[in-house]
Structure 1
């Protein structure tokens, strides 16, 4: 395993490095191509926050906005055109990599409108429309793992659409996501789709768990609570991997695997470190194992390239230790069920707010283009 290049070592350990960012400027400047070439990036994820930031700066979108304004496009239509154009272009950038890895990587994700997070029918309709509009085989449509999102995941997969399930915080919800995935592939087979052509990842959020749990530990103020700071997120992800190994060793999965299906890979999301007291590569170094994805903001990607510590597999075999951390958190007075409920609600609200900001930015740009 390479030690001089931590990103290379990460790839050699079986972790797919995806970038948690996309903008037209990044693609037009050749930056994305250089990250693929020089920094082992093999996929990209997007979300409403990323698109809102991309549109708020630079001039890369001005010409398209002017053209859409002249056509009389609505704000929603303009947002759809801009985001799907970027994602389609990114899919093309990654197409060769997608083909070389036989469809494993080279993936680009686009998220359904977060205002639909609690609307099953609306999510299904939008996911299918996004798949049709982008029209690229290496696309993944992101669907949140809300209670209402679970049946949408199954129904969209059943139509042969590749899905990135997002906003997963608890192992309990993750198990429901894996069940929705299996049901979707089973239905896809019944409808005549080749399961080998359907890909999925399950985005398990990491750093936000420590942010919320550490806040509660600080309020408890005990020595035991203080000793548990920074332990929850990694333990949670490792317990998720235990669940993954259980489900994808079962008979139900084996029947799909025999038909050519590939497992829904765990994806570590929200891996940028929020607390400066922790190493800025913590949520990469401590979650290394073969067969997973780690999607990183550019800042984290460069930190890993500079001083990441890839020490081999840091996930398999850690389940019992992770369970002990959760037992100690509960004994210290942390209500983990409430933590996960709060994080899901806040996650939906944050994306909803970013979507509103995106709409406001586009509204302003359309008005300026008409002047």
Structure 2
């Protein structure tokens, strides 16, 4: 039993936050599954931009796509879809043995259309059909424009990973969109037991933004709160998850939407590498980690039981202190959401520019 297995015993599934053609063809992903107890994968535009901009793993397919006259967007998605489909196949055993709970691989809609409900739904349906694997999840951002598309996609029977969630207020809207989508899916005749969803709540970026503001305040009380907001924010989200789903009247056989902790690699080297894992362990959750964080957990552990189920009061106290110090939390979360979309758009745009040059 490894520390990752111990984490699973606490109720947290470990997914790898990375994917590339090289990982698949070299056998590395299979090795990570076997040796590191990884039971899923998440991707995003930044991950694919990094994967496709280096090495020669994609050269043969780029040549084929060029010969076929593919556009830049078509080429990037063709390669992304192939990677996700092949990764899904590697996770088939886990998917089947967990009855769809794990063994999931996520692929994201184009971040440039996050304000367009109809375009987001159309691409979600297209990606779902083209990957054509039951264990794929389509990532849709939790922006105001995309929230209705989350409901629409679930109503179509599509498993959804809702991404870029920063605030508890937005998370409540995400859960509402999920519950409505599952009810519509049941009304549309879909087997809701086959539909799974996660809500990706970002952690380390919250600390980056709030720590910056605490350092600007500069008092001893402010500085003592550095590195606490990200965990407390996620713990408050878990309390909302319990509150709303304990009260929800879901269709018979429906699954709840699991909280997924994203952005769990620490950005500040002064913090323990396992901070956003050991402090966010608990029932019915996912933690998607960069491989460096997985390795740190395997090596160090630092687990100390369920740190979610009874954490709300302490988490609320942290936020009360932040508010008392004058930290504008509404502004924090608006900045993070805007930056989150902008960063993914920038990564996607850089990838398209790089791919256009290679296709030429």
Instruction: Answer whether TM exceeds 0.5 for this pair.
Output: yes
Alignment partners' CA distance in 2, 1:116 and 1:308: 40
Report the count of equivalent residues: 360
Match of 1:205 among 197, 202, 205: 202
- State the Cα distance separating 1:20 from its structure 2 match: 0.1
State the TM-score, normalizing by the size of structure 2: 0.99
8 Å Cα contact 2:183-2:250 kept in structure 1: no
Residue in structure 2 matched with residue 315 of structure 1 by the alignment: 308
Aligned 8 A contact 2:115 2:146 in 1:
yes
* 1:121, distance to aligned residue in structure 2 (A): 1.0
Shift of 1:255: 3.7
Partner of 1:47: 44
Q: CA contact under 8 A between 1:11 and 1:40: conserved in structure 2? A: no
Contact 1:272/1:300 (<8 A) preserved: yes
1:116-155 alignment to 2 at 5 Å?
116-155=113-152
Corresponding position of 1:178: 175
Matching residue of 2:288 = 295
Is 1:8 the counterpart of 2:29? The answer is no
Structure 1 distance, partners of 2:271, 2:94, is 34
Report deviation, 1:308.
2.2
Matches within 5 A, 1:11-22: 11-22=8-19
Q: Report how far residue 354 of structure 1 moved.
A: 0.3
1:162 aligns with 2:159: yes
1:127 deviation in Å?
A: 0.5
**2-side partners of 1:308 and 1:233: how far apart?**
20
| Secondary structure at 1:309 match in 2 | coil
Instruction: Tell me what 1:326 maps to.
Output: 319
What is the match of residue 98 of structure 1? 95
Q: Which runs of 5+ in 2 are unaligned?
A: none
CA contact (8 A) 2:182 2:250 kept: no
Map residues 217-232 of structure 1 onto 2, 5 A cutoff. 217-232=214-229
Counterpart among 269, 276, 280 of residue 283 in structure 1: 276
How far did 1:163 drift? 0.1
Cα offset, 1:179, TM superposition: 0.3
Secondary structure, aligned partner of 1:249: helix
The DSSP-based 3-state class of the residue aligned with 2:346 is helix
Report the Cα distance in structure 1 between the residues aligned to 2:144 and 2:188, rounded to whole angstroms.
Answer: 25
Distance 1:93 1:8 in 2: 19
1: CA distance, partners of 2:116 / 2:249: 32
Contact 2:84–2:107 (CA under 8 A) maintained in structure 1? yes
Q: Distance between the aligned counterparts of 1:346 and 1:269, measured in 2?
A: 15
Q: Which runs of 5+ in 1 are unaligned?
A: none
Query: Normalised by the size of structure 1, how large is the TM-score?
Result: 0.96
> RMSD across aligned C-alpha pairs, in angstroms?
0.8
Check the 8 A contact 1:121/1:152 in 2, yes or no. Answer: yes
1:80 pairs with one of 77, 84, 104: 77
Residue 117 of structure 1 deviates from its aligned partner by 1.0
Q: Aligned partners of 2:83, 2:3: CA distance in 1, in Å?
A: 29
Greater mean alpha carbon deviation, residues 325-334 or residues 356-365: 356-365
In structure 1, distance between residues paired with 2:154 and 2:291: 30
Identify the residue that residue 54 of structure 2 maps to in structure 1.
57
